[in-house]
Structure 1
C-alpha cells in the first residue's frame, strides 16, 4: 500500500489543507487542530463549532503560508448570511501566537478539560461577521487534553481529578510517575483539539465501497476528514489493523474505530446539509457498518491511531510505502465515556 493523501486542519472544523509532505508528531500532523471555534450563547456560555452542527464551516478555506494560517470565506451561490466586508478579507492567524497577553478560557471537549487561550477581538469579529452569530477563536498553545478509555496505547489510568485527602500533589504525582517500584513510565499520550486521537487513517478501497452505494455520483474522501489516506488492499480491512509501518519503520499504533456523525451529510458546495442522496451518506452506512459494539448506533469508517512507543516524530510523504505490521483478530470496542460529565478532568502533568 501507499500513502495517497495527507491532510491537516489547523483550525478545527474548517476545510482541510492537502499536503505532499508532513511531519508526524505525538499529537498529530504538525499544526493539526491547534485552534478551535466556539459559538457564544446569550448567557455567555461557549458551544463548540463542529461540522455536524454547523455545515457552514465547509465554506471556510484555510491554507498555511509561511508562519500564518490564511482563512478565506467563500459565500455559496445561495448565501448563508448577508454580505459583509469581512467576506472579502483574508484573515491571517499566526501559527504560533504570543500568548503572554491573551485571556484564558476553560473548555470541555468530550470531557477532556483544557485551559485554552482566547485569540482576541480582531479574530472573533471576523468569524462573527462570516458566521452571522457571536464566535470566538481559541488556541491551545502548550496546553494538553487527556485521552480517555483505551483510545491511546499510553492513556493515563483512571484516577481522581484531585489528590486524595491529606496527601497533597507531590506524593500523588510521584506515585503516578514512578509507580510502586519507582520505575519510570513513558509520558501518557495527550491531545490538542483533535476529538479522540492524534491521527485518523482511511483507505480509498473502503471509499470505493461507499461510492458503490450511491447512484448520484461518488463522494470525495474529504468528507471523512482524514489525516492520512492510503490506497488500501481490502474493503474495510483497516478495522483489524493494529500497527502500520511507513517507509519501512513502525509508525502508527492503530487503536479504535472512527464512529461517524452527520458531518458526512454536509454539502460542501452549499454549506448546508445535502438534499436527496447527498444528505443520506450516514444512512447509507447504517445497514452494515455499525460494527463497533461499544457504539452500536453509529457506523464506522476509518481508524484512529497514535505514534508507536519510542517514536517522537517522523517525516512522511505522499507515495510512501505503508505496510500492516500488526493485526487484530477482532474489532476494538469504543470506550471513551464522552457523555459522562462526572469524569471530566484536565490532563495530569507528569
Structure 2
C-alpha cells in the first residue's frame, strides 16, 4: 500500500519549509504554502535559491492552526536566519489599514501582491545584501478547477493552461502541489557518490510503498480514506533546476543530482514524452523528479494517509522505471 510519509509547507518561496503532520488542501496549495516571496526592490522580480542560495538558511515557523487554514487574529509568520534576530510578520494586517499592493513578477506572471512593509524589507535587505522586499499573495481564488482568464484580476495567478486549465496557484513555480516518491529518491541515490536528502527537491507530499518512478504512470490519485481525503490530478512532471544542487543545511552549491538525472530522467530519454506539450526543446532537454498536482476539491490530508491511484496515464511505458 502506498502511504504518505511526510508533508511540507513552504511559507516563503525559496526559504526552508515546515514539516507537518496534516495540512489543509486549498485551491492554490496547502494553506499558506508559498504565500510570500522575496522580490527586488527596484523592479519587483522574484528571487529564490537560484540567485541567492542563502535563502535556504531562512527558517520559517507558523502556528498549527494557521497551517490548517484557521489562524488566530494574533498569528504571525516567524523567520530566523544566521546572524539575524527573529522577524515576525503578522498574518492579519492592522485594523483600518488597507494592504499596499505593489507590482511584482513570478516567472511568466506579472501582477499585484501585498507589500509587507519596511521592517521585513530591511530584514531581507540586510540578510541578502541587496535591496529586497517581502510580498504576500493577495489573490482570492475560486474553488479548484473553477477559475477562468475572464475573472482573474491582477492579484490572482493561473497555472499553465495546456497542463491544468481553470486552476490557480500562489507563488510556487507553476502548480499548487509537488509529490515525490521515497523509492525514486533511493533509486537516484544509488547512482550518486553521496546520497541526497528529499529536501533537495522541496516536495509538498512524500509517498512510500510504490516502485521507483511509478508516479510517472499516475494520471489521478486519492489521498486519504474512502470517506475523507482529496482527489488530485497529476498534470506535469517537475523539471529540476539548480536548487536541487544546493545543500539545504549549508547553502553550499554542488553538481548533483542534475548530472545523474540527465542520464536517465531527461525528456529525450523518457519514451512516453510523446504528448504535444513535451515536444518543445525545453521539455526534451529538461530533467525530471516528482510530479505536479492540482486538487479537485478542498480538504485535509495527513501523514499516514493511503494513496490510491484512480487512473493511469495513457501511453506510459516501462522504461521510466527501468532506465
TM range (shorter): 0.7 to 0.9
Residues 1:241 and 2:233 are matched in the alignment? no
Q: State the Cα deviation string for residues 113-140 of structure 1 (Å, max 9, x = none).
A: 3211111111100111111111100011
Q: Structure 2: where are the runs of 5+ without partners?
A: 65-74, 140-154, 268-272, 317-323
Q: 1:49 to 1:234 in 2, by over 3 A?
A: same
Shift of residue 204, structure 1, vs aligned partner = 0.3
Partner in structure 2 of residue 94 of structure 1:
90
Corresponding pairs, count: 275
What is the CA-CA distance between 1:11 and the residue it aligns to? 0.9
| Residue 24 of structure 1: aligned partner | 25
Matches within 5 A, 1:112-261: 112-142=109-139, 143-152=155-164, 155=165, 188-216=166-194, 218-249=195-226, 251-261=231-241
C-alpha RMSD of matched pairs (Å): 1.9
Shift of 1:194: 1.6
Deviation track 1:128-157 (CA, whole Å, cap 9, x = no partner) reads 1111111100011233112223221xx1xx
Q: Does the aligned pair in 2 maintain the 1:151–1:197 contact within 8 Å?
A: no
Per the TM alignment, residue 103 of structure 1 is displaced from its structure 2 partner at its CA by 2.6
For the Cα contact (< 8 Å) 1:36–1:138, is it kept in 2? yes
Write the distance in 1 (CA, Å) between the matches of 2:285 and 2:6: 29
Distance 2:236 2:92 in 1: 31
Contact 1:123 1:137 in 2 (8 A): yes
Structure 1 gap ranges (5+): 75-86, 156-187, 332-350
Q: Does 1:326 align with 2:323?
A: no
CA contact (8 A) 1:113 1:146 kept: no
TM-score normalised over the length of structure 1: 0.74
Q: Distance in 2 between matches of 1:103 and 1:22?
A: 29
Structure number, greater radius of gyration: 1
Alignment correspondent of 1:174: none
CA displacement, residues 69-113 of structure 1 (integer Å, 9 cap, x when unaligned)? 111102xxxxxxxxxxxx341111123435944332222322223
Q: List per-residue Cα deviations over 1:195-218 (Å, max 9, x = no partner).
A: 1111101100100011111122x2
Q: Which residue of 2 aligns with 1:165?
A: none
Query: Separation in 2 of the partners of 1:297 and 1:100?
Result: 48
For residues 48 and 252 of structure 2, the distance between their equivalents in structure 1, rounded to whole angstroms, comes to 13
Which residue pairs with 1:285 in the alignment?
261
Cα drift, residue 318 of structure 1: 0.4
Query: CA 1:104–1:191 in 2, change beyond 3 Å: closer, same or farther?
Result: same
Residues 105 and 232 of structure 1, relative CA distance in 2, 3 Å threshold: farther
State the match for 1:14 in structure 2.
15
Q: Would you say the 8 A contact 1:102–1:120 is kept in 2?
A: no
Cα deviation, 1:151-196, whole Å, max 9, x if unaligned, reads 21xx1xxxxxxxxxxxxxxxxxxxxxxxxxxxxxxxx321111211
1:254-276 alpha-carbon deviations (Å, 9 max, x no partner): 111100101111122332313xx
Q: Residues 44 and 103 of structure 2 are in contact (CA less than 8 Å); yes or no, is this contact kept in structure 1?
A: no
Q: Give the alignment of 1:291-330 within 5 angstroms.
A: 291=267, 292=273, 293-294=278-279, 295-308=283-296, 311=297, 313-330=298-315
Task: Pick closer, same or farther for the CA change 1:133–1:272 going to 2, 3 Å.
Answer: farther
Q: 1:268: which partner in 2?
A: 248
Summarize deviations over 1:290-321 as a string: whole Å, max 9, x none: 1353411110101011112xx2x111110011
Cα distance in 1 for partners of 2:53, 2:39 equals 14
Query: 1:46 matched to which residue of 2?
Result: 44
8 Å contact from structure 2 (residues 239, 288) kept in 1: yes
State whether residues 100 and 114 of structure 2, in contact with CA within 8 Å, keep that contact through their aligned partners in structure 1.
yes
Q: Is the 8 A contact 2:23 2:302 kept in 1?
A: yes
